Amino acid sequence: MKWLNTIIKYRLWLGLLLLALAIYVNVQTSFWPSFILYFIAIVLIAGHFLFGPMRLIQAHMESGDMEGAKKVVNSIAFPQLLIKPMRSVYYTIKGNLAMVDQDFENAEIHMKKSLDLGGGALTKQSEGPNKLQLGMLSMQKGKPKEAEAYIRAAIRAGLPDNENNAAAYLQLCSIMMNKKEYRAAKEYFRKAKGFKPTTPQIVDQIKQIEKYIGRMPG
């Protein structure tokens, strides 16, 4: 809905314009003729600060426009004013954008901030993916025990799609292979394949592991 995106994009300015108009009508007449203008202005201004432009950010990310997403994220001057679920989503998106830029340190900071907020339907939806991302980061930092804990927690929290689930089980498979726990590695590999992922990177990982996993003992 383009009209809704337009309102979200400009609602602060629309709110300020309506507030100025409400004050003018109030001065020229009385309070009650200007009441509806005050009400709409307050709703728009409050919505800008409490809910933020998350819909616009998601639209950019879904279309692959990372620069557009960054621009909208950076326009949020006071993230601490966002309500808790929206603040959690904000930090999740910041973490994802940092991952795209391979800024792993800031990605970890933002993901942990999102998890620390806790509670609410939106934050529950992002809990699993956030923990999976933290697990991936721990793997890159050479901390397999920490990575395993995060990935198991991500699976328990729930992951949104086949691609994320396959990635999680492939990471567990790799961890078990390094620990020489081959039976567990094979089981996690079987589960990863069972999700039938289509992401090229994950499909390639499956093909690479498949070359030698059958020769493992256990």
pLDDT class of 204 with cuts at 50, 70, 90 = very high
- The pTM of this model reads 0.81
- Return the closest-CA partner of residue 12 out of 54, 41, 39: 41
189 C-beta neighbours (distance < 10 Å), count: 23
pLDDT of 218 over the 70 cut: no
Q: What pLDDT, on a 0 to 100 scale, did the predictor assign at position 100?
A: 86
Percentage of the chain with pLDDT > 90? Answer: 76
CB atoms within 10 A of CB 177: 19
Instruction: Give the integer Cα–Cα distance in Å for 7 and 196.
Output: 40
Distance from C-alpha of 153 to C-alpha of 177, rounded to nearest angstrom: 20
Q: What is the mean pLDDT of the chain?
A: 92
pLDDT in tens, 59-83: 888 788 989 999 999 999 999 999 9
- pLDDT (tens digit per residue) in 123-146: 667 889 999 999 999 998 899 999
